[in-house]
A and B are shown apart, each in its own frame.
Chain A
Amino acid sequence: MIIRAEHLTKQFKSLRRKDGVVGTLANLFSREYDLKDAVKDVSFELEAGELVGYIGPNGAGKSTTIKMLTGILVPSAGSCTVDGVVPWLDRKGNARQIGVVFGQRTQLYWDLPLIESFRLLRAIYGIPHDRYEQNLKAFTDLLDLDEFIRTPVRQLSLGQRMRGDFAAAMLHEPKVVFLDEPTIGLDVVAKEAIREFIARTNRTRGTTYVLTTHDLNDVEKLCDRIIIIDHGSKLYDGSIDAIKERYGGKRVLTADLTVACADIEVRLPGTTVVSREGHRITIEFDRSRVRADELIVELSRTCELKDVTIAEPELEAIIRQIYQSGLEPLTAGATT
């Protein structure tokens, strides 16, 4: 096991602010605080080599958790270890074995060629020269850095910069890499390159990844396991397949008919007509109450079908449903 979080809790104390000029002055002397639980009693364990999606809506407590695991913040209660190290007690020791990529904030030096940032990181992490050269070459090949490694960072495209940031975060061979929105703002091709890199290094180097993102395509393509948190508490911890099974009982059937479908009715339990547009009808149905073939038979009784597609539920739709319906938090590992 490489990461263990036990009842991790972080409370923030924020000054209760009053508005307006008088209120702002009063704020200077105010001692009224609001306590907010940013992270509440979160526990999980990660095995070395796992690639886990850590997801939740804005303000759910994702970054706060990551900040505790990286040693930036000290928890209010609970504890965690990263490969045996308690991050906030041995911040520098922890820093040596982790890598962090913030998608929105680069650690590269804007004014200088990419390679110069790498050289500084070599010195900061004390990477032996031969290891540095070896890793630099490996990442240069994997990320195609050659074409722009001598270009000042300010002239790089966002996709190139992110590739540079990934190499920068991994030159010291971290065991665990925390990714915070690593593909934000990237085009399809650049996203694919980054995902490929993550999957490759996870496979070949056994790097453990904790991926925080709003792009559920990243999660769906990369992770087997996801942890969902909202309002600071863990809602779900388990495989993506299991969550689809559990919350994604609905399927969507889209049929193109030979006639206009304005007056087509479907009288089967567990079905809802989502839309009727010209010759195309879209029906949502509950797999546990009606089978797809029953639905198709029922439809073909009243009209001819030219084409039929049945869509699996999108992870995004499931997650949206979980955020909105506010499920009971699950116990740790219940669904794994």
Chain B
Amino acid sequence: MVSAARYWDAYKEVWRLNVLTLMEYKANFFIWLLFTLVYHGVALAAIWVILTKFPSLNGWQRTDVFFLYALWMVGHTLNNSLFFMVGDVPDAVREGRFDRMLVRPLDSLFQIMAQPGQNFPDDFFVSIIVFGIAAALVHLQWTPLVALLVVMTILSAAVIDGAVQLVVATLSFWVIRLDALRWVVMSLENDFTRFPLSMYNRAVRIILGYVFPFAFMNYFPATVLLHKTADAAQFNPALGWMAPLVAAIWAAGSLTFWRIGLNRYQGTGS
């Protein structure tokens, strides 16, 4: 067995290389930083514009929707900081870089995630600030229980997000190119999580609630945090607390699927 210390050592080394790469390409880093700000700025502006026309959506005020977006963003950017490179699996397989990981004495999925090129946590820090502002705007009362739900939700959201991406990435052991699917799932997540799920039709509710469980990243917990009892009543009120369970199931499922895909790869080499 390779000790956890070895993995930690390797992870630290990767981050050191990441910082060095960053210094190698400073301009690139600042442009990414700018992109992060513009990207989230545009998304928030879009929400603002829509809510100027319709000040309330299904009983959700502007600030509530802003809070919904901010909550999703914290989990999503945490996922980016940890699991961003999962999306590299298809390219690594196609370019043969994955074989190199298989002849090294560490877990191959770990090597995929921990490789130079990883995302910087800059957008995670930005999101925490944005979330703090959003929480203040909706007058969130920081009781211990609320704090617990918020932290649990953010951690679970990162895991759910990462697990969904791992499932999509694992498909590349069967299908060589699937950038298209990746974009479909990404836009499902990015676009549909911005507004309360209760305003969508049945199909979207089923997809975001049960197929790709992005609603657990922000909407269900937000119904509890913001006391949206009318919304909660349309679903099961307990769903607001279920993110950790969904995350655990998705993590276990996606890892099993990864093992199956890896076995197939080692069986066929394709």
Contacts and interface: CB of A to CB of B under 8 A. Distances in A.
A71 B97 contact: no
A124 B116 contact: no
A183 B118 CA distance: 32
Main secondary structure of the interface of B (DSSP, over half): helix
B20 interface: yes
Contacts of A107: 100
A184 B2 CA distance: 35
Contact of B103 (A71, A74, A122): A71
A125 B99 contact: no
A149 interface: no
Nearest to A125: B105
A95 interface: yes
Nearest to B267: A74
A67 B10 contact: no
B95 to A, nearest CB: 8
Interface residues of A, number: 32
B96 A112 contact: no
Given A109-B17, A120-B10, A71 B102 contact: yes
Contact of A112 (B12, B20, B95): B20
Contact of A91 (B16, B25, B96, B102): B102
A119 B6 CA distance: 13
Interface in A95-110: 95-96, 98, 100, 102, 105, 107, 109
Given A98-B103, A124-B105, A126-B105, 18 more contacts: A12-B269, A12-B270, A13-B268, A67-B269, A70-B102, A73-B266, A74-B266, A88-B266, A93-B105, A95-B104, A102-B99, A105-B95, A112-B17, A119-B16, A120-B14, A124-B106, A125-B105, A126-B2
13 contacts: A67-B99, A92-B106, A92-B107, A95-B103, A100-B100, A102-B100, A105-B96, A105-B97, A105-B100, A111-B25, A120-B17, A123-B6, A124-B13
Lowest 9 A-B CB distances belong to which pairs?
A: A123-B13, A95-B105, A123-B10, A92-B105, A123-B9, A96-B105, A126-B6, A72-B102, A100-B103
Interface of A: 12-13, 64, 67, 70-74, 88, 91-93, 95-96, 98, 100, 102, 105, 107, 109, 111-112, 116, 119-120, 122-126, 152
